[in-house]
């Protein structure tokens, strides 16, 4: 694994280090504070017990005189189990000991550390922990009093505390490192999963790979989800591009071959300037058809890749449909067909983002022209705009009473260059409905082809996939 080679380079290692350092610093502060607190509290307790005894003896001195004091000291020091580790010295001004179990010494006042008067009563390893904390004071008549306490308990306590602190720190450190490694490993594994998939996609070009989700809805799942939807998008775009290039390869080769053959014929067979002129005229027409087809393909591709959203704005659907009816009614009439429109007034495009009215006009124009092209003379094409109801958005219906499309073919007609056998001879490049589908998808229009008994009925339902944020009144007026 690469992170073993240069572990200091990985983010996870740095995270681990940061985690461990933080734990150690915080732990150190905590333990240090605890040590200081316990130590000072215990020392204070010890001081207090010594001072209390001094006060007690001073009181005795005041009430009963030095004899009383000496009596108490003698009693205490001669007890079979002396008051645990207390030592006394009552020393006369001339330097001799009146009572107590400490050797005579030069008088002093205040706190002082003293060696133990007797050695060897304790095991060897405890020796160093013993020591006296002594308070020297003067009573009346120059009498010197010392009360001392063995700090063995304190030292033992301190040692235990330090031991447990050290153990705690060691455990914390171990936990920090282990936790860090664990976290790194978890991060690493999730990241490796993403990196591996990315690498595979890069190397194999297989865009259908997806990062597996854990299903626990964590940040990695979110990230993976985003990457997956990005991959999906790239895949569909790539598929679109591939589709377009395939289409171009397959369906443009035929007219190009025809163009070439015609030019070749002209070169070898033309006998007059007029022949050449005709050939050139035809070649130009043929190129125009090709250019139109390529233009249509590019336009579809552009719409499909959602690049045209920039042109979105509010759209008055009623106006759009009326324009189509008004524009194509004379065309239909000239072709011996009838175009009728039933248009609900003041219907606007639902949803916040609006639409591209140029594209919507193009879409409807293609559908109406399709109706004109694939119906016999005398047919009627009905274009209607119905307002939104409570359950659906507004819808546009283009219906004719021509031969219709067999149910099995209804989805296929949206494919590029797909043409029904029956319509091979009519004009058109087989891209009109592909463009309709692309515009519909861009506007999230739900498009259905139904049987009109007889004929074809194309239903365009707006705001299909999303729940439309509209309230529909009975007469269908939209209140956005």
Residue number with CB closer to another protein (157 or 365): 365
Residue number with CB closer to another protein (299 or 416): 299
CB 308, min distance to another protein, A: 6
CB 402, min distance to another protein, A: 16
CA dihedral 409, 412, 413, 414 (to 10 degrees): 150
Residue number with CB closer to another protein (99 or 442): 442
Q: Burial of 252 by CB count in 10 Å (0-12 exposed, 13-18 middle, 19+ buried)? A: middle
Q: List the structure tokens of 44.
A: 């204070």
User: How many other C-beta atoms can be found within 10 angstroms of the C-beta atom of residue 16?
Assistant: 23
CB 375, min distance to another protein, A: 13
Residue number with CB closer to another protein (124 or 334): 334
Q: List the structure tokens of 87.
A: 């030592």
CB 274, min distance to another protein, A: 15
- Assess contact for 316 and 453: CB atoms under 8 A: no
CB 284, min distance to another protein, A: 6
Q: Burial of 78 by CB count in 10 Å (0-12 exposed, 13-18 middle, 19+ buried)? A: exposed
CA distance 116 to 270: 135
Residue number with CB closer to another protein (116 or 279): 279
**Could you please report the per-residue DSSP string of 336-365?**
T-EEEEEE-TT-B--SSS-B-HHHHHHHHH
By CB under 8 A, name the binding residues for another protein: 281, 284-285, 287-288, 291, 295-296, 298-299, 302, 307-308, 310-311, 323, 326-328, 330-331, 334-335, 356-359, 361-362, 365-366, 369, 372-373, 427-428, 432
Q: For residue 470, how far is the Cα from the chain centroid?
A: 32
CB 202, min distance to another protein, A: 30
Residue number with CB closer to another protein (179 or 428): 428
- Assess contact for 395 and 462: CB atoms under 8 A: yes
């Amino acid at each position: 694994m690469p992170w073993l080679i240069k572990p200091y380079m990985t983010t996870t290692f740095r995270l681990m280090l940061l985690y461990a350092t933080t734990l150690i610093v915080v732990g150190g502060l905590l333990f240090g504070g605890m040590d200081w607190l316990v130590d000072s509290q215990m020392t204070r307790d010890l001081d207090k017990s010594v001072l209390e005894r001094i006060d007690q003896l001073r009181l005795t001195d005041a009430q009963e005189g030095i004899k009383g004091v000496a009596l108490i000291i003698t009693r205490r020091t001669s007890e079979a189990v002396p008051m645990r580790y207390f030592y006394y010295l009552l020393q006369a001004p001339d330097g001799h000991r009146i009572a107590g179990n400490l050797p005579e010494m030069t008088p002093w006042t205040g706190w002082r550390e003293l060696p133990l008067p007797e050695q060897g009563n304790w095991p060897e390893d405890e020796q160093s922990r013993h020591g006296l904390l002594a308070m020297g004071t003067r009573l009346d008549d120059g009498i010197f009093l010392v009360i001392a306490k063995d700090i063995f308990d304190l030292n033992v306590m301190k040692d235990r505390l330090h031991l447990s602190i050290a153990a705690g720190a060691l455990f914390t450190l171990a936990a920090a490192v282990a936790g860090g490694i664990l976290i790194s490993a978890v991060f690493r594994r999730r990241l490796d999963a993403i990196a591996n998939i990315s690498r595979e996609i890069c190397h194999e070009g297989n865009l259908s790979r997806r990062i597996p989700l854990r299903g626990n809805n964590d940040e990695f799942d979110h990230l993976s989800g985003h990457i997956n939807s990005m991959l999906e998008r790239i895949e569909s775009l790539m598929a679109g591009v591939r589709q377009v290039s395939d289409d171009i390869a397959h369906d443009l080769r035929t007219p190009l071959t025809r163009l070439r053959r015609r030019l070749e014929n002209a070169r070898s067979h033309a006998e007059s300037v007029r022949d050449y002129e005709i050939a050139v005229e035809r070649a130009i027409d043929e190129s125009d058809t090709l250019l139109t087809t390529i233009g249509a393909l590019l336009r579809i591709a552009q719409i499909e890749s959602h690049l045209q959203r920039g042109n979105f704005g509010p759209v008055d659907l009623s106006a759009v449909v009326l324009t189509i009816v008004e524009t194509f009614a004379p065309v239909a009439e000239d072709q011996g067909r009838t175009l009728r429109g039933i248009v609900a007034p003041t219907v606007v495009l639902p949803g916040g983002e609006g639409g591209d009215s140029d594209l919507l006009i193009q879409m409807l124009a293609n559908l109406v022209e399709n109706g004109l092209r694939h119906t016999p003379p005398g047919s009627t094409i009905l274009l209607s705009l119905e307002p939104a109801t409570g359950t659906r958005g507004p819808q546009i219906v283009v219906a004719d009473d021509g031969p219709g499309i067999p149910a099995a073919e209804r989805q296929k007609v949206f494919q590029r260059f797909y043409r029904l056998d029956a319509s091979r001879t009519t004009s058109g490049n087989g891209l009109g409905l592909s463009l309709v589908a692309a515009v519909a998808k861009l506007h999230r229009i739900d498009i259905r082809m139904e049987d009109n008994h007889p004929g074809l009925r194309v239903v365009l339902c707006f705001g299909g996939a999303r729940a439309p944020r509209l309230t529909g009144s009975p007469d269908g007026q939209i209140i956005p």
